[in-house]
């Protein structure tokens, strides 16, 4: 069935494919088949391989999809210790006065940061965005400056933020490729999925009242494997959506900007994801956490050699049924000295396809090797002498 689907889609889209470093391009206009809007993009999460792009670097308003970066900075603040999930965040009049989508926060009341982050991820709450921005950076303007700095660090060269909500304000823009890049970064935070999968929930206020929140990403329920993403809409930006779905070992990211209706954005994303899952596959070449067939030498250690594991998997994203010549090279620390603790960085593994580098991962020690004491060394010398 998958082979038939791939054949049909290939005929419809007049697909031609070339394989090169981190790029598998489709020349057909898959987004137009699905009646998408002004720009569209599809890529693999693990490798960043581009599968489809149409007007992907065109600068356009993206409405609430800019909250992807708001969430990235919020999770990074938590992980760095600058913000606690259970920390109570007091809401300013500026935050509670935000228009558009909101959860109706009350000025002067305090809410757990975790709950505010959840409302941004689930129902795109503008008031929660500003409350978090003010807490993390002292002001929304300070937070926006960080958003722009982080965008540049990620390589999002066609992105400029003017606020943390996506409400219309000039100059403010991004592009489909940059949105995918930012969503890819957000997906690296496992805690995000705890919020992104929520469909419906009652948000409780400190004074006892509740506000019902519903996920704006309808694909969470209707598309198999979809577990995250961000919608956006303003009259200027049109209907926008960035979404991700995972099936087996493969996770894809797809973006549509400026669709003419809510349904057409969902349909466009579904069509691109369908094509990706039907015609491509992810091969796990090196598993994370599994002992490798190489060992690291340790100077002055009770264990002269220790096991080695990969910090994250090395994967190859290819067309289904396509053969590839994959090789992995290991660069281990040649001057590793005891003591070595389990989980310590001791090298790097690089994955090649046909001699072209397509991925890297850090190598970690799979076990500890304490320092050899003077007495241990003496006993070992005596044993060897005997």
Q: Which residues carry out catalysis?
A: 64, 67, 124
Three-class DSSP labels, the chain: CHHHHHHHHHHHHCCCCCEECCEECCCCCHHHHCCCCCEEEEEECCCCCEEEEECCCCCECCHHHHHHHHHHHHHHHHHCCCCCCCCEEECCHHHHCCCCCCCCCCCCCEEEHHHHHHHHHHHCCHHHHHHHHHHHHCCHHHHHHHHHHHHHHHCCCCCECCCCCCCCCCCCEECHHHHHHHHHHHCCCCHHHHHHCCCEEEEECCCCCEEEEECCCCHHHHCCCEEEEEEEEECCCEEEEEEEEEECCEEEEEEEEEECCHHHHHHHHHHHHHHHHHHEEEEEEECECCCCCCEEECECECCCEEEEEECCCEEEEEECCCCCCEEEEEEECCCCECCECCCCEEEEEEEEECCEEEEEEEEEECCCECECCHHHHHHHHHHHHC
Structure tokens at 110: 């305090």
Calpha distance 216→236 (Å, rounded): 19
Calpha distance 178→238 (Å, rounded): 18
At residue 360's C-alpha, the angle toward residues 355 and 361, to 5°, is 145
């Amino acid at each position: 069935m998958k082979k038939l689907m791939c054949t049909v889609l290939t005929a419809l889209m007049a697909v031609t494919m070339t394989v090169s470093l981190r790029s598998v391009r489709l020349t057909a206009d898959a987004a137009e088949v699905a009646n998408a809007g002004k720009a569209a993009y599809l890529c693999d999460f693990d490798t960043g391989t581009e599968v489809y792009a149409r007007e992907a670097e065109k600068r356009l308003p993206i409405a609430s999809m800019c909250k992807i970066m708001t969430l990235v900075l919020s999770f990074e603040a938590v992980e760095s210790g600058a913000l606690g999930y259970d920390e109570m965040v007091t809401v300013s009049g500026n935050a509670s006065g935000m228009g558009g989508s909101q959860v109706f926060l009350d000025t002067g009341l305090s809410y757990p940061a975790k709950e505010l982050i959840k409302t941004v991820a689930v129902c795109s709450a503008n008031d929660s965005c500003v409350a978090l921005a003010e807490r993390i950076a002292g002001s929304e303007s300070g937070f926006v400056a960080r958003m722009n700095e982080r965008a540049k660090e990620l390589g999002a060269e066609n992105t400029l933020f003017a606020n943390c909500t996506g409400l219309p304000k000039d100059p403010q823009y991004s592009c489909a490729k940059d949105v995918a890049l930012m969503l890819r970064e957000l997906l690296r935070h496992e805690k995000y999925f705890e919020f992104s999968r929520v469909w419906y929930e009652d948000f409780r206020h400190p004074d006892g009242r509740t506000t019902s929140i519903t996920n704006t990403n309808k694909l969470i329920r209707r598309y198999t494997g979809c577990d995250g993403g961000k919608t956006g809409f303003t009259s200027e930006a049109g209907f926008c959506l960035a979404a991700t779905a995972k099936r087996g070992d493969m996770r894809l990211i797809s973006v549509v900007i400026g669709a003419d209706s809510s349904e057409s954005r969902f349909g466009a994303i579904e069509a691109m994801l369908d094509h990706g899952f039907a015609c491509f596959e992810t091969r796990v070449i090196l598993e994370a956490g599994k002992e490798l067939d190489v060992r690291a030498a340790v100077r002055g250690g009770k264990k002269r050699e220790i096991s080695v594991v990969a910090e994250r998997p090395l994967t190859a994203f290819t067309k289904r049924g396509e053969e590839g010549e994959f090789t992995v090279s290991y660069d281990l620390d040649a001057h590793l000295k005891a003591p070595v603790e389990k989980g310590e960085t001791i090298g790097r593994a690089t994955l090649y396809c046909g001699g072209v580098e397509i991925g890297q991962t850090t190598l970690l020690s799979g076990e500890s090797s304490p320092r050899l004491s003077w007495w241990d060394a003496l006993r070992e010398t005596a044993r060897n002498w005997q």
